[in-house]
Amino acid sequence: MSRRPASRLHPRRAKPLRRALAVPVWADLALRLGAALALVFFVVLIHWVDRTGLKDTHDGVVSFLDVFYFTMISITTTGFGDIAPVSDKSRLIEAVIVTPIRFAVIFIFVGTAYQFVIRRSWEKWRMRRIQEQLTGHIVVLGYGVSGGEAVGELIARGTDPGEIVVVDANGARLENAEAMGCNVLEGDATRDETLAAVRIAQARAVLVSAGRDDTSILMILSVKHLAPKVPITAVVRADDNELLARQAGADNVINPVRITGLLLAGSAQGRHVSEYLSDLASVGGRVQLVERQVASDEIGKPLSQLSSGGRGLRIYRQGRAIGFWEDGARKLEPGDQIVEIAPTCTAESETPMDGPQG
């Protein structure tokens, strides 16, 4: 398969990133117009109550239509002079109450112009700058069922949605990711240009879930070609494609069919086994699996005495996995990666009446 060198890729040719606005456009417009109309009608009410302080040079009678007319030309600073405040009270009202409201209405309309013209151009420029400076982010290729669940779990675990970039060719799916606060890019994740546009080489991790094994494997190859050092986790559904995914460059391969089988088998051995496994996998349960670097105050101690208070399960040391029962777990060393079971915030907030933790 022929590919262009990474140095010759042009990220600007791809579609820019998007991120959902805090308030929908129609809602923001309705709020602005509603506020402006409310202020106008408030001034109409003030002028109507104080209509005796106004003078109409046309017929000498100030009707409600005259009040409405005077309010509109006053708010818009037109001022034809045919109706004018003549009493001290009316002039004081114009200076102290109506003038600030006049400025407020003008600012609302100027702000609306900014919102729908200037700000949109600014947002496009800002997102382009964010796109050009992305680093340490998580890229999710494919926002189907698995990709959506992964993003939801990442956010639940404390990941800022602004640090997540979702790439999918389906615009409807991207709207869901955008609603969660993620950066999104519509495009083909098997293309070098698309991956370069999300700065794949500067990503912290890449999650691949295309829905089809062949597409997922092609995505893995594309990512590995542009970002050989970035860890890749991929979802593969067929057993015989797991090896292909690893050979393509995936560091972790998840087979949902196999995991489902493990949960079913576990439930046959005991009704609480599958429940506990599900609990471990989600931050929404009472316990969770945590992988982290060994702390400085833990070096030299056994895996069973972690300063975090968690239960140490495994050590990854120089590419070797060491179980808690093995001799290597008796003394933690610098550079060790620890996998432990830790209670979640939900479990920590439970009272003793809820039963034993974990």
Q: CATH topology for 25-132?
A: Helix Hairpins (1.10.287)
| End-to-end Cα, the chain, rounded Å | 50
Give the DSSP letter of residue 169. S
Q: What is the pLDDT of residue 65?
A: 86
The two most distant CA atoms of the chain are separated, in Å, by: 105
The beta strands (E) that lie in the chain are given as 54-56, 83-85, 138-141, 164-168, 183-186, 205-208, 232-235, 252-254, 287-293, 311-317, 320-323, 337-343
Evaluate whether 134-254 and 285-354 have a shared fold: no
Residue pair 147/182 in contact by the 8 Å Cβ criterion: no
Cβ neighbours for 267, distance < 8 A, ≥ 6 positions apart: 273, 274
Residue pair 143/166 in contact by the 8 Å Cβ criterion: yes
Spatial distance between the Cα atoms of 240 and 261, rounded to a whole number of angstroms: 16
Phi, psi of 232 (to 5 degrees): -120, 130
Q: What is the pLDDT of residue 354?
A: 43
Q: What is the pLDDT of residue 164?
A: 93
Residue pair 190/215 in contact by the 8 Å Cβ criterion: yes
Domains of the chain: which residue ranges?
A: 25-132, 134-254, 285-354
Q: Is 55 helix (H, G, I), strand (E, B) or coil?
A: strand
Q: Which CATH architecture has domain 285-354?
A: 2-Layer Sandwich (3.30)
Q: What is the pLDDT of residue 243?
A: 92
Spatial distance between the Cα atoms of 303 and 224, rounded to a whole number of angstroms: 34
The per-residue pLDDT string of the chain (358 residues; one tens digit each, 9 = 90 and over) reads 444 444 334 444 455 666 655 555 566 667 777 887 888 888 889 888 888 888 887 777 888 888 888 888 877 777 677 777 788 888 888 788 888 887 787 777 766 665 666 556 665 666 667 677 778 999 999 998 889 989 998 998 889 998 999 999 988 888 899 888 888 888 899 999 889 888 899 999 999 999 899 999 999 999 999 999 999 999 998 888 999 999 999 999 988 877 777 777 777 777 777 777 777 766 667 888 888 999 999 999 999 999 988 899 999 999 899 999 999 999 999 999 999 988 876 555 554 434 444 4
**Which of 36, 39, 51 is closest to 83 using CA atoms?**
51
Supply angle C-alpha 300, 302, 305, rounded to 5.
Answer: 110
CA 340 to chain centre: 28
The CATH number that domain 134-254 falls under is 3.40.50.720
Residue pair 72/43 in contact by the 8 Å Cβ criterion: no
The per-type count for the chain, helices as H runs and strands as E runs, is 13, 12
Q: What is the pLDDT of residue 2?
A: 43
Q: What is the pLDDT of residue 346?
A: 52
In this structure, the chain runs to a length of 358
Query: CA of 18: how far to CAs of 8, 27, 89, 164, 188, in Å?
Result: 24, 19, 53, 12, 16
Q: What is the pLDDT of residue 122?
A: 60
Q: What is the pLDDT of residue 315?
A: 94
